[in-house]
Amino acid sequence: MGGEGDGVAAGPIYAPFTLPGERVRLAGRGERRELVEVLQASPERVAPPCPHFGACGGCALQHWEHGAYLAWKVERLRTTLARQHVETELLPAFAAQPRTRRRLALHARQGSKTAARLGYKARKSWSLVEVSACEIADPRLVAAFPALARLAAPLFEHPKSAPTLHVTLTAAGLDVDISGVERKSGGLSADARLRLAEAAAEADLARVTLDGEIAYLARQPTVRFGQASVALPAGGFLQATPQAEAAMTAFVTAEAAGAKRIADLYCGAGTFTFPLAGIAPVLAADGAGEAVRALTAAIATAPGLKAITAEARDLVRRPVLAEELKKVDCVVFDPPRAGAAEQAAEIARSDVARAIGVSCNPATFARDARTLIDAGFALERVLPVDQFLWSAHMELIGVFSR
């Protein structure tokens, strides 16, 4: 299997929706081919549960038996670490279940006057695949598809508009942040904004924003991190499934137990900050100012925790220095896909005894792990996290100690 979930034959030739050991008939030229027919199926092949699988570009691996699929992803993680000469214990993986994802990016295209066409992009294409079902999404999101199609109908005043609805299921209901609406011509007219608000009210949405600007607000979307109730910033980051968030939080807090002072770097709105503050005082930092302000405001909702000090800070240009970590004995860092190269260098230079790295990109994690290991840390163990079901994407949490 190739890195994107395509089967690989000699050549190399890459073919989607194929499995190791199969004999297949392909169409096309060059390295990238298309599957025409499976002549001899793998015993690991299963019937995909979604009627849109194969056309929709959202899932790549629904045709693979779950145990074999998960073992492949864990082995890929091991291989990625090995490229940086990193070896460690890989714990049993956390595996997301179907129908649990609480946030989706739905693409909209012009349809009728009352409803847009709504769905996901086709595989390796800008074409839209309209969907009526989604096996990864929480059923409450799927039930809202018709209402979201009506919500998107007023967004096409400009021919260059290609809206994406970033939909998040929160405690207050659905929160929708819309991007991709052409703004050079002045943005949506007053009439279109009124129609948008009417559709949002009819659907009983909590909030609708246009690139973060409020277009409709019935209730403030909130999420719960530990004991805190956090007002979610428009378009704010959340772990994809609440079950994965709970498993990751439990693992991080268990590994941080006994710390006297903790730094939570790339803290977002406080996913780990508030649970960690049940252990020790926390220094929290992130480059997203809106997220840090939401975290700070939520401190008052969680009495009884240890002190939390939060700072909006670009951790690439201005990482927390080794000298600032003098009183910290445990660092948690959860960077974006680009990793934490600059911050890892400061952790390596510090006297911190323990570091816990949360990563959505094993390649950049392996690079940063090499920095820490070369400075005297040992990577004790890694928890693989398969949060993006039926994709080639894998996350992880690594535990380092000196």
Enzyme catalytic residues? 360
**Cis peptide, bond prior to residue 319, ω within 30 of zero:** no
**289 to 162, 238, 358: CA distances (angstroms):** 27, 16, 21
At residue 146, the 3 state secondary structure works out as helix
Question: Is the CB of residue 178 less than 8 Å from the CB of residue 165?
Answer: yes
**Sign of the torsion angle spanned by Cα atoms 323, 328, 329, 334:** negative
Tell me the CB-side half-sphere exposure of residue 120, using CA atoms within 13 A.
21
End-to-end CA distance of the chain: 36
Cα–Cα dist 15/4, whole Å = 10
CA separation for the pair 329, 257 (Å, rounded): 11
Return the amino acid letter for 219: R
Q: What are 135's two structure tokens? A: 């096996």
Give me the amino acid identity at 43: P
Is the link from the previous residue into 336 a cis peptide, with omega within 30 of 0? no
Contact 285, 351 (CB under 8 A): no
- The pair of three-digit structure tokens given for residue 147, joined into one six-digit string: 């209402």
Helices 66-83 and 362-374, packing angle to 10 deg: 40
The angle, 0 to 180 degrees and rounded to 10, between the axes of the packed helices 362-374 and 341-349 is 20
Return the ∠ at Cα 343 (arms to 340 and 349), rounded to 5°: 135
- The CA distance from 257 to 205, in Å, is 39
Backbone angles phi, psi at 144, to 5 degrees: -90, -5
**Which among 285, 28, 160, 270 has a CA at the least distance from the CA of 16?**
28
Q: Closest by alpha carbon to 77, among 337, 399, 392, 400?
A: 392
